[in-house]
């Protein structure tokens, strides 16, 4: 069930009852999660990788919706001791769509270096996504991602072959490298949402609030 069961088939479980019957947790501990800022990204993704990466990016809003639907209502907008609530992780994905879109614009403009991110994630901390309904955040993310996909779809082959310097990683990144980076970032935060739904297992640590 943890891997790809459609939301419509998920049983509705009261808070605290999930675990052995709903998720194959057993008695094992969750592996420690990778820290986003420790990740290294090997460049070299070619334009022909873009269609596959687009499918990953297209699926993220649906997967986020499934993950949030899977959580007890009281968990969705509740911050753990450290880091963000599940809803804030999704809100963070929403907040960063503007950055990804901007970086695609940088490629199109021929910029030698991609625009920088706010490494402190102030947008997400200040947005207070927990005051919004899950539907509002999920709908907004889906709409923003739709816009990003349209931007990719409109990209010329010439732009797809360009590369630019990533300001934090200090390495050249192709358009496909950036899309891979975004897809990995999506998964990083979806995994944090999943972990927050498993209170009997290790909670995500600071790794859960990585930035771009």
Specify the DSSP element, H or E, that contains 129. none
Does 61 engage in binding with Ni ion (CB under 5 A)? no
Cβ nearer to Ni ion, comparing 113 with 187 = 187
State which of positions 126-185 bind Ni ion (CB under 5 A). Answer: none
Decide whether 71 or 192 has the Cβ nearer to Ni ion: 192
Tell me the residue number closest to Ni ion, measured at CB: 210
User: What is the C-alpha to C-alpha distance for residues 151 and 143, in angstroms, rounded to an integer?
Assistant: 13
Q: Is 210 near Ni ion (CB under 5 A)?
A: yes
> Least distance from C-beta 17 to Ni ion, angstroms?
30
Count of positions on this chain that bind Ni ion (CB under 5 A): 2
Minimum CB separation of residue 190 from Ni ion in Å reads 11
Task: Tell me how far, at minimum, the Cβ of 123 lies from Ni ion, in Å.
Answer: 11
Shortest spacing between CB 87 and Ni ion, in angstroms:
14
Q: Which of 154, 183, 177 is nearest to 165 (CA)?
A: 177
Residue whose C-alpha is closest to residue 158's, from 101, 103, 110: 110
Residue 18 or residue 195: which is nearer to Ni ion going by CB? Answer: 195
Rounded to a whole number of angstroms, the minimum distance from the CB of residue 13 to Ni ion is 28
Nearer to Ni ion, 53 or 117 (CB): 117
Distance of CA 124 to the CA centre of its chain: 13
- Burial state string for 72-83 with b = 16 or more CB within 10 A and e = fewer than 16: beebbbeebeeb
Distance CA 70, CA 82 (A): 21
The helix/strand/coil state of 174 is strand
The verdict on 86 binding Ni ion (CB under 5 A) reads no
Smaller CB distance to Ni ion: residue 91 or 210?
Answer: 210
Q: How far apart are CA 70 and CA 13, in angstroms?
A: 9
- Give the residue carrying structure tokens 């990209």: 155
Cα–Cα distance, 141 to 96 (Å, whole number)? 10
Stretch that binds Ni ion, among 82-90, 123-131, 137-145, 202-210 (CB under 5 A): 202-210
Where along the sequence are the contacts to Ni ion (CB under 5 A)? 210-211
């Amino acid at each position: 069930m943890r891997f790809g069961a459609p939301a419509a088939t998920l049983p509705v479980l009261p808070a605290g009852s999930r675990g052995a019957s709903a998720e194959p947790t057993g008695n094992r501990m969750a592996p420690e999660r990778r820290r986003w800022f420790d990740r290294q990204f090997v460049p070299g993704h070619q334009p022909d990788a873009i269609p596959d990466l687009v499918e990953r990016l297209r699926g993220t809003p649906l997967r986020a919706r499934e993950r949030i639907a899977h959580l007890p209502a009281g968990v969705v907008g509740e911050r753990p001791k450290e880091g963000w609530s599940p809803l804030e992780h999704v809100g963070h994905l929403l907040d960063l769509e503007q950055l990804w879109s901007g970086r695609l614009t940088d490629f199109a403009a021929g910029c030698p270096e991609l625009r920088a991110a706010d490494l402190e994630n102030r947008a997400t901390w200040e947005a207070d996504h927990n005051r919004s309904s899950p539907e509002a955040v999920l709908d907004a993310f889906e709409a923003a991602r739709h816009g990003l996909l349209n931007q990719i779809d409109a990209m010329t082959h010439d732009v797809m072959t360009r590369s630019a310097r990533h300001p934090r990683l200090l390495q050249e990144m192709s358009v496909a490298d950036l899309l891979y980076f975004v897809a990995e970032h999506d998964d990083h935060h979806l995994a944090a949402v999943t972990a927050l739904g498993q209170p009997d297992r290790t909670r995500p640590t600071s790794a859960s609030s990585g930035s771009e």
